[in-house]
Structure formats: C-alpha cells, structure tokens
Amino acid sequence: MSTARLGPAVLLLAAVAAGLTPAVFCDPDSDCFYLPPGLRDSAGRVPALLILHCNGASPVDLDTCRFVADSMGWVLASCHASRNRRGVQLNDADIVRTVCKLLTRYPVDPQRVFLFGFSGQGVQALATMFMHPELIRGAVATCAHDGALPLARFDRLQANLAYLVTREQDWNLGSNRSMYDTFNLRGLRAAITTTPGEHGPGPWQEILAGCRWLKLQTRGDGP
C-alpha cells in the first residue's frame, strides 16, 4: 500500500516502530512537526524549517532532518500535500496552511520561517517564497531550476534569502548559476554551493549548512 493512503496515526506508529523519534507529531493532514527537547520549556520564539518532498513529505523525512533542528534549535515541520506533478498553486495553498499551523501551535518567529526542497520541490519552495515574501523569509533549494522566476517581484523580495545547492553534473547547474546572479543583481540575497556528482538529494549536513547561512543573514532578528 502506498504511504500516501495511510493516515497520520499509522504513519507515526510506523515511524516509532522503525526507531524514529517519538517527538515527531503528525496531524490529521499528515503534516508533521518536531520541537527539539531544549525548546519545550522555552518562552522565546525561534526560526522554523518546513520540509518539502517530491512525493509528499513523511515522518521519515522529518526524522532525517531532526539533527538540523537539534543543532540549530529550530522547530521542524513537513508539508505532506505538496509534491511534484501537482499544480504550483495547489501546493502553495497547502504549504501556507502548514505554515499557519506552525505559527499558531509552536513558538515560531513569524519573521524567520524557511523552506527546504529538492528538485521540483526546490522550485516550489522558491515559488512560495516569491508569492508570500512576508510569510516565507528564505529557502534552501537543492538542484532546483528557474521555473519559478516569473513569479518573482524583486521589489518585494529585498529582505528575502535563497541558498542554492547544485552539482557539477546537475542538469540544472546552469539554472542555478543564472538564478544566483539574478537574485543578487535584483536585491534578493543569495548563496550558491556546487558539489561533485549528479542531480540528486544530498545529506542532512547540506541542509544544515544552508540553515547556518540563513541564520547568519538574519542574525540581527533574534537568537
């Protein structure tokens, strides 16, 4: 049976049975959330990273990135509905819905909500930031292409951030280099990292590096 047909309770039980952290909570929409132990008694608000996945993010994807949340002291979440081969606007509506859950249920700083996505969901992460720059401060996009650029209104993106990751044999290498130049030229702060290999997802340490860059760029906004 496809995991897309399993309810959130079944997914969470499967995650726990597989030895994943029981601190991952999944709601009836199969969106999942993780609050690092050190934040559970904190009264302050911290950044959040929302994970997207080409096939719809699951508890496993959240657990894979748990070390990022633990290292950064950030809240972690995933949007299950957003996926490839689905309209950008439909995905965007579900991502915004998940972000609203983050802001109302967890101690999240509304000025520092970030997205991560690989390939098509990297494009989606950029698209959602372009459409909602006041809601999404920045994005880590791995092996994305420039398909979302027509949605960018750079006069509204002067406070936003993009961390691009590409590969030496990535078929989107040229798109990433072009986006990096365009972003910085038009006032959207961007960084780019090029690693060996072909188009493909990287380790969680790669996401951590992107989050550290995002934190550095927003260091005046809070802890």
Q: How far is CA 205 from CA 68, 108, 130, 147, 162, in A?
A: 8, 22, 26, 26, 17
pLDDT at residue 59 in the model: 92
Query: What is the CATH architecture assignment of 24-221?
Result: 3-Layer(aba) Sandwich (3.40)
- For the chain of 223 residues, list the mean pLDDT of each consecutive stretch of 10: 41 44 84 87 84 95 92 96 97 98 95 98 98 98 98 98 98 98 98 97 96 93 63
The dihedral of CA 163, 81, 109, 159: what is its sign?
positive
Boundaries of every domain in the chain: 24-221
**Residue 26: predicted pLDDT:** 94
DSSP structural state of residue 54: T
pLDDT value of position 41? 58
pLDDT of residue 17: 42
How high is the pLDDT of residue 186? 98
Residue 216 confidence (pLDDT): 96
- Residue 37: predicted pLDDT: 86
The label of the residue with tokens 């959130």 reads: 8
Residue 93 CA: distances (Å) to CA of 118, 127, 172: 19, 12, 26
Closest CA to 12 of 2, 25, 29: 25
The amino acid sitting at 53 is: H
The residue type of 100 is C
* CA atoms 222, 58, 102, 9: torsion sign: negative
Compute CA 98 distance to the chain's CA centroid, rounded to the nearest angstrom: 12
The Cα–Cα gap between 191 and 107 comes to 28
Tokens for 40?
A: 């559970």
